[in-house]
Amino acid sequence: MTMKEILKTYVKKTVRSREKYKELSTIMPGAVGSAIRWFSPYPFFVEKAEGAWITDADGNQYIDYIMGQGPLLFGHANPRSVIEALKQQLEKGCLYGTPTAIELIVAKKIKEMIPCAEKVAFANSGTEAVMHAIMVARAYMKKKKIIKFEGVYNGHYPEIWVSVTPPLEKAGPYENPTPVPSSDGIPENSLCNLIILPWNNSELLEKAVKNHKEELAAVLLAPVNTGSGVIPPKNDFLKTLREVTEDNGVPLIFDEIITGFRLARGGAQEYYEVIPDLAVYGKILGGGMPIGAICGKTELMDLTDPSLEKNIKTPIVGTFNTNPISMVAAAALLDEIKNDKGLYQRLNTKCTTLVNEMRNLIEELGIKACIEHVGSVFQIYFTDQEEIIDYRSAARTDKAVYNKFFITMLTKGIFLSSRSFGRCFTSTAHCDGEFSKTLQATEESLRLCAHKIRR
């Protein structure tokens, strides 16, 4: 089946979405609130969602593996405790401009769950949290340079939204990648304080930290590279990173926006047994509401304390910070996680089973593809490489085949990441019935694409 025929099927099934897209795009650029939601020929428009399923404007139902780009650990409109907490809070008011007791409750729960969380502060998004963590590290160290990793997304804070998906012809040598802005609106002179390193290379990491320790404010990374799909750390990369930063007196910042409360109660810190100096959270923490959190060692976090006059140069400010809507959702969500002792074993085991079955299909059909996976996050890559270890190996995968696979799956009622550098999530709402339908659609879709991707 040709791509043209597949697209024709999609367009035929999504007439109302197409109409809404055309009208909205005349007012709102791209007709999407976030660029990641757009795909060709146009995204479908959602009417409602429940559990593992979403329903579009035409009444088509899809098994959803996007889960709001990761926040929905318990599926759509779940858990009910979060829904009820939101209803009750809305009756009391949605914004006060002064502290509430719920902030204490949420902060204490985070401190209890997150290994590095001696103190906690809040923001409105993961991007804001990363921005504040970097400012804290720079204020503490009185230095400017940050090490970040090629292919890793740490939010769209301009100074850090760099070398996420750089064209390989602009990316420079592997050993010393060139910082490449992810937007034409990022000034070139803002790149001078970044050092870009390849993911999963402990030798180059150790060398860079030692060579630049006199000017380094921090090393920033997501413990799992989810900016290039899903690329887990290999060969004790994180443990080496922690040892090197400690030995050289450089703060380590974990961007746990995706891994936080996703891999384990204590996030990647618990999962990989590596404890950073600072960590940032978002997505799952908000229970579907916007939120960001920064936590870490007292000596670092106290630099944001407005009651200490000497620290007023690093305050955390924001009109909607700790708004009661986000706070009550977070409190209810964290209670669900705390009270379900077997949550992560079930969640991760179910996803592993799905991934292994998909790998079996790939092997049986002789497809040139591999799946990278950790916890309840996975991504399929069409490639003859046996594994994906960094951004550049991900960049060499067949994006055209992935696009065809994505649209084909969509016409069969399975909503995966629309981008080859994206990621798919399972939730507690995904059960055997959803997995069975997904595997059937996967086999059919792989067969339709197989003439181009057989080994």
- Please confirm, yes or no, whether 381 is among the known catalytic residues: no
Residue among 148, 283, 404, 412 flagged as catalytic: 283
Residues 430, 436, 438, 441, Cα dihedral to 10°: -160
Distance CA 119, CA 294 (A): 8
Q: What value does the CA radius of gyration of the chain take, rounded to a whole number of Å?
A: 22
Residue with tokens 């290999």: 234
Residue with tokens 């926006």: 257
Residue among 42, 153, 271, 402 flagged as catalytic: 153
Distance CA 257, CA 247 (A): 26
Instruction: Report CA-CA distances (Å) from 238 to 48, 84, 232, 273.
Output: 40, 39, 10, 9
- Helix/strand/coil for 435: helix
133 is written with which tokens?
């963590």
Residue among 255, 277, 390, 398 flagged as catalytic: 255
Residue with tokens 């960094």: 390
Residue 392: name the closest of 207, 219, 223, 201 by CA.
Answer: 201
- Please confirm, yes or no, whether 111 is among the known catalytic residues: no
- Please confirm, yes or no, whether 283 is among the known catalytic residues: yes
User: How many helices (DSSP H) and strands (DSSP E) are in the chain?
Assistant: 14, 14
- Helix/strand/coil for 77: coil
DSSP-derived secondary structure letter, 94: S
317 is written with which tokens?
């400010």
List, as one string, the DSSP characters of 335-380: HHHHH-TTHHHHHHHHHHHHHHHHHHHHHHHTBSEEEEEETTEEEE
105 is written with which tokens?
């409750």
Q: Do 207 and 157 meet the contact criterion of CB atoms below 8 Å apart?
A: no
Residues assigned a catalytic role: 153, 255, 283
